[in-house]
Each structure stands twice: as structure tokens, then as C-alpha cells.
Amino acid sequence: MTSISERLQAIREAMHKAEREAGRPEGEVHLLAVSKTKPAADIRAAHAAGQARFGENYVQEALGKMAELTDLPLEWHFIGPIQSNKTRPIAEHFHWVHGIDRLKIAQRLSDARPDTLPPLQVCIEVNVSGEASKEGVAPGEVLELARAIAGLPRLRLRGLMTIPAPTRDIALQHQPFRMLRELQATLNQQGFALDTLSMGMSEDFPAAIAEGATIVRVGSAIFGARPAKLKEDLS
């Protein structure tokens, strides 16, 4: 069996290769290690191998692991769907939130973000795959949502995030990532200064890096396959 540290090393090398091939500086893209359903011990092992950013999808599960890992200087990213009754613990315990697709959620996060912490760093989730996905705003609605979020005092809008329909066809993988990058450019022309594209997972991060990803969210390629059915139990 390959260890977490060996798999992390392999991912970093694959990321560097994708960066070189895209003519981007090596090390420019941030790796978010998606540790949902995995124990705190796995996060500790990844941290020992140089990993500091972790992504979690389920609030209660994440809070339990955070409590076990308070001795480590970790950066926590909430990447799951956000229920409005969970906005307070998210605003109190995470550094980043990637999946914002409704103003109401953004308002609640801003209201609940403690003054003692820096603003919550957020991305708008965009549905660039059409019907294949239920989450995320339609591309045509991003500008309006971005304007509203930019006015919220305790959030800092950093960029866009997407979870495209999975495909092993490399050419098809590029399409939604390119769309997200073009959408970012459009928003920046409208006066935003978005610096983040959160896109790419275990199966498609090289394509995402080729299209301009600044954060790739990689889970199973680092920590191994996840149990299929845990989702409901953990949210």
C-alpha cells in the first residue's frame, strides 16, 4: 500500500508537470487536500508531509477533526453544500468557503463571522455543466450575486468554483474549466479583482491547471477511496 506522503508527493509532481506544460510557474497552484470521511490521523500524516490546506464537506465531522488537531496550524476550507442552519459553525471555524450559490447563505455567513477573525474568504459556485448538476448558480446569474456578495462586510469574494460532471475524456474535461476562467475574466472586466479559480479534482486536476486553476481540490488520490454511502450520516 502506498502511504499518504507518497501519494501527496506524486500529486505535487503531477501538478508541477501540468504547470510546466501550461507555461505557468511551478508551485503556483495550491493543493487543497480533501479529507472528508477520513480520520484526523490521516490529516496529521498529510500535515507531516507538508500539507497545510484541508477541505471538508460535513460540518459536524469537520468540527470533530478540528478539535483533535488544534495543535497544528491548518487552513480549513468548507467545500460541501451549505445548509442555512449550519452557517454559524462554518463562519466560526473555517478560513474559506467554496460553495456559495445563494445570497441568503452569504448574508448569514457574513452576519455570523466573528469580528476577531479575518473576513471569510469565499468563492461563488458556478454550474457550468447545465442540467448535469444541481448546485451552483447559472453563469448568467454570477455577476449579480458577485455584486451582492461584494457588499457584505465580513466576506471577501476571492473567485469562482465549479464541480463539472465527471468525464474521463480529457478534451471534454477542459470545456467547463475554460468557461469558468472566461467568466472570471468577464467579472474582472466589470471591476472585480478575483484571483481564485477553485477547480479540478483527483480525476481532472491536470486539465483544470491547464485552464488556469489556482486551487485544485484533491481527495481520493491522496487519502484513498471513500466509502460510498456515508454522506447522510455525516452532514
Positions that interact with ligand PLP (CB under 6 A): 34, 36, 57, 79, 163, 201-203, 217-221
Of 129 and 147, CB closest to ligand PLP = 129
Nearest to ligand PLP of 175, 202 (CB atom): 202
| CA distances from residue 96 to 5, 56, 57, 168, 210 in whole angstroms, order as listed | 24, 11, 12, 29, 24
* Distance in Å, CB of 91 to ligand PLP, minimum: 19
197 beta partners: 160
Q: CA 177, CA 209: separation in Å to the nearest integer?
A: 9
Q: How far is the CB of 38 from ligand PLP (least distance, A)?
A: 10
CA 224 – CA 142 distance, rounded (Å): 34
The residue of the chain with the least Cβ separation from ligand PLP equals 219
Going from the C-alpha of 202 to that of each of 14, 118, 127, 136, 153, the distances in angstroms are 11, 30, 19, 20, 34
Q: How far is the CB of 210 from ligand PLP (least distance, A)?
A: 17
**Cβ 43 to ligand PLP shortest distance, Å:** 14
CB closer to ligand PLP out of 14 and 147: 14
Which lies closer to ligand PLP via its Cβ, residue 98 or residue 154?
Answer: 98
CB atoms within 10 A of CB 211: 21
